[in-house]
C-alpha cells in the first residue's frame, strides 16, 4: 500500500469513500510519522487517543453512509484554537497549563464534518513572530534544507508548526491564523498552499486573540484543492463573533478548473522593493507569464500607500495586542507568580509568563495608546490604514479581479540568523503580506518555484472581498505550471 501520509487530502477523501483503507489506518500512519519527526518540533501536544476514537467514529459513519465531507481526515490544529479538554497554550509559558472547557467555532465545524484531530501545532508565542522562534516550546524546524547543507531553517511564522507539519506529511492539512502574513509566509517557506480568507469569513471565536481587527483563521494544505476543501468547512457565519459575516459559503472546490480567460490581474509597481533578490523578481515575472498563457490579462497597477503598511501595522497590531493581553494577569487562569500585593503579583506574572517578543510588542502597544501619544500614533495609523484600503478599492474599481505579488522577500532563512539586536529586520518578512490584513482582503500563497539552493518560493494572489474562489482558480493555474514541491526526507 502507498504510504498513506503522502496522499493529498482530496486523494485520502476519495480513498476513504472507496474503502481502499480505513480512517483508523490513515490516522495510525500519521501518528507513526509524527513520532518519527519529533526533531521538527511541529507538534506541542499530541492527541493519539482522541485521534483514534475520532477515526473509529468516522469509519462507523462511512459504513453507515452518514459521513461528513471531511470524515476520517487527520488534521493538525494550531495551538491558538481552543480545543475542549485539550491543552491550548498559544505557545506561551503564561498559558502552558490552560485546558479550555469550550471549543473554538472553526474546530467545532471541522469535527462536525468528521475531521480527526492529531494534536496541537507549534506557533510563535501569541502568534507574534515571523519565524516560529518565539515559541515557549522552542523553534519549529523547516522540513526543507539548503542543497548540500544540514543547517536548520525556520518554517516561517507564526503558523510555522502548521506549515512544517503539512510539508512533512505529519497531517493532511492544518488550521492556521494570519494577522500580518502568518499563513502565507510559512506556506511560501515550506512549499505548501496557504489561504488567508477575507476578514469575517471564518469565525474568530475561541481563537486566542492577538490583534482583533486583523486576525483571521484559514487553512494550510498540500495543494490548492486541499486548501479549498478545508476552507469550505472552516468558513461560515457565527453569531458568537460580531465581526463574522452572514453570507453563504460557496463550494470553493468547484472553482478549480474554471477558466481564467479574460480575468484582469494587477501587478503593483510598489511591490518592487529595493534589495529584492533577482530570484524573487524572476519568479514574479514567471507567475505573470503563466497567468497570461492561461488567458488572463495583466495590467500594471498602483498601490501608493504600500510603503506605509509596515509602520502602520506595527502600531495597530501591538496596540490591539496590549489591550488583548491585559487579561493574562495571573488572577483567573494560567501561570501565577507570587507578589507582596496585587500589583507586584501582576508584574511578576507577566514578566515571567511572557517571552521577550511579546513583552516588546505589549510595551510598544501600551506606549502608542497612552495619553499624549494616542493621537500622534494610533489615530494617525488608523487614518493611513484607511488609505491603504482605498488603494485596493480603487484598483478593484478599475475591473482588476486579483493582484499578483511575491509572497516573501526571500526563501527560508536559518534558525537564529535574523534574531539579534534589530527586531525590525524580522518585521521586514511581512512586507508583502501586511497590506492584505490592513484592508481585510483574501490572500493566497502558492508555491511557484525554488531558489538556487533548492528552497521553495511562493507567489501571492490578493483578491476582492469574499472572492476567494477567484484566487483558488488562479492559484491552481500557477500550481499546475509550477508543479508540486515535496521536501526531501532527512529526519
pLDDT tens figures, 182-219: 999 999 999 999 999 999 999 999 999 999 999 999 99
- Given 92, 182, 322, 410, which residue is catalytic? 182
Residues spanned by the domain of 326: 1-491
DSSP string for residues in 283-352: HHHHHHHHHHHTT-EEEEE--GGGGGHHHHHHHHHHHHHHHHGGG-SSSSSS-----SSHHHHHHHHHHH
In sequence order, the 6+-apart residues with CB closer than 8 A to the CB of 194 are 159, 163, 176, 178, 183, 184, 186, 187, 188, 218, 219, 220, 227, 444, 445
- Given 104, 130, 135, 158, which residue is catalytic? 158
d(CA 57, CA 463): 38
Q: For residue 152, what are the CA distances in angstroms to 38, 40, 258?
A: 14, 9, 40
So what's the pLDDT on residue 73? 98
Q: Is residue 282 annotated as part of the catalytic site, yes or no?
A: no
Q: Is residue 84 annotated as part of the catalytic site, yes or no?
A: no
What is the CATH classification number for the domain harbouring 196?
3.90.1300.10
- What's the whole-model pTM score? 0.96
- Given 78, 109, 196, 222, which residue is catalytic? 78
Q: Is residue 162 annotated as part of the catalytic site, yes or no?
A: no
Question: Side by side, which strands form the sheet with 116-121?
Answer: 43-46, 116-121, 74-78, 173-178, 216-221, 193-196, 443-450, 456-463, 402-406, 264-268, 297-301
Number of domains the chain is built from:
1
So what's the pLDDT on residue 417? 86
Total residues belonging to the chain: 491
Q: What are phi and psi of 404, to 5 degrees?
A: -105, 125
So what's the pLDDT on residue 423? 67
Stretches where the chain sits below pLDDT 70 are 1-2, 420-427
Amino acid at each position: 500500500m502507498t504510504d498513506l501520509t503522502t496522499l493529498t487530502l482530496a486523494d485520502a477523501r476519495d480513498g476513504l469513500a472507496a474503502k481502499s483503507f480505513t480512517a483508523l489506518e490513515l490516522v495510525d500512519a500519521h501518528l507513526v510519522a509524527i513520532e518519527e519527526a519529533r526533531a521538527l518540533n511541529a507538534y506541542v501536544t499530541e492527541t493519539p487517543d482522541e485521534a483514534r476514537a475520532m477515526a473509529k467514529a468516522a469509519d462507523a459513519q462511512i459504513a453507515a453512509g452518514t459521513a461528513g465531507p471531511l470524515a476520517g481526515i487527520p488534521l493538525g490544529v494550531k495551538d491558538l484554537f481552543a480545543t475542549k479538554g485539550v491543552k491550548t497554550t498559544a505557545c506561551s509559558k503564561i498559558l502552558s497549563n490552560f485546558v479550555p472547557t469550550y471549543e473554538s467555532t472553526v474546530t467545532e465545524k471541522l469535527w462536525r464534518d468528521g475531521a480527526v484531530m492529531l494534536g496541537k501545532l507549534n506557533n510563535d508565542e501569541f502568534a507574534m513572530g515571523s519565524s516560529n522562534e518565539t515559541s515557549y516550546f522552542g523553534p519549529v524546524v523547516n522540513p526543507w534544507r539548503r542543497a548540500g547543507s544540514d543547517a536548520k531553517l525556520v518554517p516561517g511564522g507564526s503558523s510555522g508548526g502548521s506549515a512544517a507539519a503539512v510539508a512533512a506529511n505529519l497531517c493532511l492539512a492544518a488550521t492556521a491564523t494570519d494577522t500580518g502574513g502568518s499563513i502565507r509566509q510559512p506556506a511560501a517557506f515550506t512549499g505548501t498552499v496557504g489561504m488567508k480568507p477575507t476578514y469575517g469569513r471564518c469565525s474568530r471565536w475561541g481563537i486566542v486573540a492577538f490583534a482583533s481587527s486583523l486576525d483571521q483563521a484559514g487553512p494550510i494544505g498540500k495543494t490548492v484543492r486541499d486548501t479549498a476543501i478545508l476552507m469550505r468547512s472552516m468558513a461560515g457565519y457565527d453569531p458568537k463573533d460580531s465581526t463574522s459575516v452572514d453570507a453563504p459559503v460557496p463550494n470553493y472546490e468547484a472553482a478549480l478548473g474554471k477558466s481564467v480567460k479574460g480575468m484582469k490581474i494587477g501587478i503593483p509597481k510598489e511591490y518592487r522593493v529595493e534589495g529584492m533578490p533577482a530570484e524573487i523578481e524572476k519568479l514574479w515575472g514567471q507567475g505573470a507569464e503563466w497567468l497570461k498563457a492561461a488567458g488572463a490579462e495583466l495590467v500594471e497597477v498602483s498601490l501608493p500607500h504600500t510603503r506605509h503598511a509596515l509602520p502602520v501595522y506595527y502600531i495597530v497590531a501591538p496596540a490591539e495586542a496590549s489591550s488583548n493581553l491585559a487579561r493574562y494577569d495571573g488572577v483567573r487562569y494560567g501561570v501565577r507568580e507570587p507578589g507582596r500585593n496585587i500589583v507586584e503579583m501582576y508584574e511578576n506574572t507577566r514578566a515571567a509568563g511572557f517571552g521577550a517578543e511579546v513583552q516588546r510588542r505589549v510595551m510598544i502597544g501600551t506606549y502608542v495608546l497612552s495619553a499624549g501619544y494616542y493621537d500622534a500614533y494610533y489615530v494617525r495609523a488608523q487614518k493611513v490604514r484607511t488609505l491603504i484600503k482605498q488603494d485596493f478599492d480603487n484598483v478593484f474599481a478599475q475591473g482588476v479581479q486579483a493582484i499578483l505579488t511575491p509572497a516573501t522577500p526571500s526563501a527560508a532563512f536559518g534558525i537564529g540568523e535574523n534574531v539579534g539586536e534589530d527586531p525590525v529586520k524580522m518585521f521586514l518578512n511581512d512586507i508583502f503580506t501586511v497590506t492584505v490584513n490592513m484592508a481585510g482582503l483574501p490572500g493566497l500563497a502558492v508555491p511557484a518555484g525554488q531558489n538556487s539552493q533548492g528552497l521553495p518560493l511562493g507567489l501571492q494572489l490578493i483578491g476582492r472581498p469574499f472572492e476567494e474562489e477567484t484566487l483558488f482558480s488562479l492559484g491552481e493555474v500557477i500550481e499546475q505550471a509550477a508543479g508540486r514541491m515535496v521536501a526531501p526526507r532527512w529526519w
